[in-house]
């Protein structure tokens, strides 16, 4: 970036600094942050602050999440059957200690990549978990309505209803929910023929949010790299922060908008390429290590025209019937 | 060759086949909302790959739903305006169905029937109720999918479960509808749904009330006219 400050950029930076000061003064890190129960929450994940807790074996946000959610982790009934007729099933129960990807036993992780930017090699640490989309595809298309989005915008899976078909993972642009076989409703209905277990993912600590507390990953972060609060304020904060560091935002527009806003001084396209390259080098094709593609369209938005067609069909049908009956009566053609 | 009489008007055939084809597509695409085609290797069959795409299946589901709703709406308005309610269940239909099925099995005499047999009216009601439930819950599901809409959780869950239940019941109903043609006595009706007409003798025997009430009378009248014309011409020739 140029060192010269134009009149315009001076005002922009002043506004950004002002917004930051306001947010700091309004107490972003206080337990109850002036949220009402129906207010949507946004989360800013500031990659310029995160160092991945590199001196620790497991980043604190990850270990805090694991500790908080351990009672919800699946306890499969063994032996676990294959998904007939496929000779396989998804079982992570013997890899409970794995903290380097998303699994049913690990709902967030930190991806570490090195990215060349402005002539320097930057270490980038990206804490990944559910983005909690505005129009969450997984929630909308779950065939059993097992996924809910609450007033805070937290998208969560009901483990008592989930059949484990993994459709949510297939339609999620980031493939976030992870499946564990040998647990859940399908065992009581048709364990051999249908279903595959239960899907697990971050629920934004919705129980804590309901009590006015912050998500556990945020409170555990020693660098204050994770900040949550009223969504619009967080969006503004992300913008201000990106402007301050001359960086970029990810998550504000992807999949039609999410409630997670990553801020980085390195372009996300480079981070995305680096994650893809790392996975390729490690020959890692399993789900649970999402990329960060820039263009993520929400498919349900493209269905709008079709949906309107469905909703207008009754009027068209009624109109044709009325015209037909009118013509028939006029023509007096009786055909019982 | 036996005489044919009109049983299913063009509108009725449009309704029947429009409903049948759209429901078939809805079942295929509805199953495609579940991860079954991939699991059961249907996607690896030639040309079956698209069945594994949830979104292509959703497109097809919307398209077929549009056709079904169009046809059902046409059906309701068309017959309401013409005040045609032959296919609505009547009091005593359950008992009468029993008697008809008993007669079919034992080879006895069926009670006289109107345009539709009692069990046909009941089958219509069963399939009709399920289709209406599917349409109403389906509309809720369409509204749910709009960006920015967050319908109440209980409404979404209720719609989903009712939609799934009605689907199972409808498939059961369609199965029973098709199985009915195992019975030989029902087969002459198939022609009616393709060409519109059925054998007059069949209508006279099996749907005597309808035959005598409607088309039967017309035919009788036609015959009377023919006799009258014949007599007139004979008289004229006699006069001559």
How far apart are the C-alpha atoms of A236 and A315, rounded to whole Å? 44
Q: A264, A250 in Cβ contact below 8 A?
A: yes
Higher pLDDT, B218 or A271: A271
Instruction: Locate the chain A residue with the closest alpha carbon to B36.
Output: A194
Nearest beta carbon to residue A145 from set B6, B82, B160: B160
Q: What pLDDT is recorded for position A29?
A: 41
How far apart are the C-alpha atoms of B11 and A7, rounded to whole Å? 73
ipTM over 0.90: no
Structural domain spans, chain A: 7-302, 303-336
Q: B69, A317 in Cβ contact below 8 A?
A: yes
How far apart are the C-alpha atoms of A19 and B144, rounded to whole Å? 36
Nearest beta carbon to residue A167 from set B35, B76, B214: B35
Structural domain spans, chain B: 7-84, 88-206, 212-240
Percent helix / strand / coil, chain A, rounded to 5:
35, 15, 50
How far apart are the C-alpha atoms of B207 and B222, rounded to whole Å? 20
Percent of the residues in chain B that have a pLDDT greater than 70, as a whole number: 88
Q: How far is A108 from chain B (nearest CA, A)?
A: 26
Q: Which of A179-193, B103-117, B139-153 has the lowest mean pLDDT?
A: B103-117
Q: Which two tokens stand for residue A249?
A: 């935002």
How far apart are the C-alpha atoms of A319 and B77, rounded to whole Å? 9
Q: What pLDDT is recorded for position A149?
A: 93
Give yes or no for residue A95 having a pLDDT over 90: yes
* SS3 per residue for A216-231: HHHHHCCCCCEEEEEH
The answer to whether B54 contacts A170, with C-beta atoms less than 8 Å apart, is yes
Q: What pLDDT is recorded for position A241?
A: 95
- The CATH number, out of the four listed (3.20.20.100, 1.20.950.20, 3.30.70.100, 1.10.287.610), of the domain defined by the range B88-206: 1.20.950.20
Q: What pLDDT is recorded for position B90?
A: 83
- The CATH number, out of the four listed (3.10.20.440, 3.30.70.20, 3.40.50.300, 2.60.40.10), of the domain defined by the range A7-302: 3.30.70.20
Instruction: Locate the chain A residue with the closest alpha carbon to B76.
Output: A318
Q: Which of A2-16, A161-175, B138-152, B186-200 has the lowest mean pLDDT?
A: A2-16
Q: Which of A28-37, A119-128, A178-187, A246-255 has the lowest mean pLDDT?
A: A28-37
Concatenated DSSP letters of A55-78: TSSS-HHHHHHHHHHGGGS--PPS
Residue A199, beta-bridge partner list: A179
Tell me the per-residue pLDDT of A176-205, one tens digit each, with 9 for 90 and over. Answer: 999 999 999 999 998 999 999 999 999 999
Mean pLDDT of A19-45: 61
Tell me the per-residue pLDDT of B4-48, one tens digit each, with 9 for 90 and over. Answer: 888 888 889 999 999 999 999 999 999 999 999 999 999 999 989
Q: How far is B88 from chain A (nearest CA, A)?
A: 15
Q: What pLDDT is recorded for position A15?
A: 54
Arithmetic mean of pLDDT over chain B: 84
Element (H, E) at A122: strand A120-128
Mean pLDDT of A110-117: 95
Tell me the per-residue pLDDT of A203-218, one tens digit each, with 9 for 90 and over. Answer: 999 999 988 899 999 9
């Amino acid at each position: 970036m140029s060192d010269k400050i134009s009149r315009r950029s001076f005002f922009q930076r002043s506004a950004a600094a002002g917004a930051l000061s306001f947010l700091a003064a309004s107490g972003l890190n206080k337990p109850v942050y002036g949220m009402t129960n129906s207010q949507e929450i946004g989360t800013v994940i500031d990659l310029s602050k995160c160092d991945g807790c590199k001196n620790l074996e497991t980043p604190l946000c990850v270990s805090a999440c694991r500790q908080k959610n351990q009672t919800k982790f699946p306890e499969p009934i063994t032996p676990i059957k294959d998904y007939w007729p496929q000779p396989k099933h998804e079982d992570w129960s013997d890899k409970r200690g794995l903290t380097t990807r998303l699994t049913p036993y690990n709902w967030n992780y930190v991806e570490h990549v090195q990215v060349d930017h402005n002539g320097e090699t930057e270490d980038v640490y990206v804490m990944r978990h559910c983005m909690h989309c505005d129009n969450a595809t997984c929630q909308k298309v779950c065939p059993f309505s097992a996924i809910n989005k609450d007033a805070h915008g937290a998208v969560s899976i009901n483990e008592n209803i989930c059949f484990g078909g993994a459709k949510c993972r297939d339609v999620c642009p980031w493939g976030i929910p992870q499946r564990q076989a040998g647990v859940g409703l399908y065992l009581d209905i048709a364990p051999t023929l249908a279903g595959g277990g239960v899907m697990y993912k971050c629920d934004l600590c919705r129980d804590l949010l309901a009590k006015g507390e912050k998500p556990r990953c945020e409170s555990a972060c020693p660098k204050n790299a994770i900040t949550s609060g009223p969504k619009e304020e967080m969006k503004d904060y992300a913008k201000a922060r990106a402007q301050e560091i001359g960086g970029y935002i990810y998550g504000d527009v992807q999949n039609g908008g999410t409630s997670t806003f990553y801020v980085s001084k390195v372009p996300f396209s480079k981070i995305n390429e680096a994650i893809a390259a790392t996975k390729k080098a490690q020959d890692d094709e399993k789900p649970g290590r999402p990329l960060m593609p820039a263009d993520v369209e929400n498919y349900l938005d493209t269905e709008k025209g079709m949906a309107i067609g469905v909703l207008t069909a009754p009027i068209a049908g009624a109109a044709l019937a009325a015209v037909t009956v009118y013509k028939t009566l006029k023509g007096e053609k009786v055909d019982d | 060759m036996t005489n044919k009489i009109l049983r299913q008007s063009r509108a009725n055939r449009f309704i029947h086949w429009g409903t049948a084809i759209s429901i078939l597509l809805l079942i295929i695409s509805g199953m495609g909302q579940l991860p079954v085609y991939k699991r059961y290797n249907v996607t690896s069959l030639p040309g079956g790959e698209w069945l594994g795409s949830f979104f292509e299946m959703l497109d097809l589901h919307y398209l077929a739903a549009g056709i079904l709703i169009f046809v059902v709406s046409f059906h309701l308005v068309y017959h309401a305006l013409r005040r045609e309610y032959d296919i609505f269940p009547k009091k005593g239909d359950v008992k009468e169905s029993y008697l008809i099925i008993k007669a079919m099995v034992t080879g006895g005499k069926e009670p006289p029937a109107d345009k539709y047999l009692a069990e046909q009216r009941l089958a219509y009601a069963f399939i009709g109720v399920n289709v209406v439930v599917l349409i109403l819950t389906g509309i809720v599901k369409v509204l749910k999918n709009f960006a920015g809409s967050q319908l109440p959780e209980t409404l979404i869950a209720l719609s989903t479960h009712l939609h799934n239940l009605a689907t199972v019941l409808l498939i059961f109903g369609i199965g029973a509808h098709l199985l009915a043609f195992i019975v030989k006595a029902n087969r002459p009706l198939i022609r009616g749904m393709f060409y519109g007409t059925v054998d007059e003798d069949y209508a006279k025997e099996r749907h005597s009330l309808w035959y005598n009430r409607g088309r039967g009378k017309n035919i009788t009248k036609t015959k009377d006219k023919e006799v009258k014309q014949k007599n007139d011409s004979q008289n004229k020739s006699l006069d001559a």
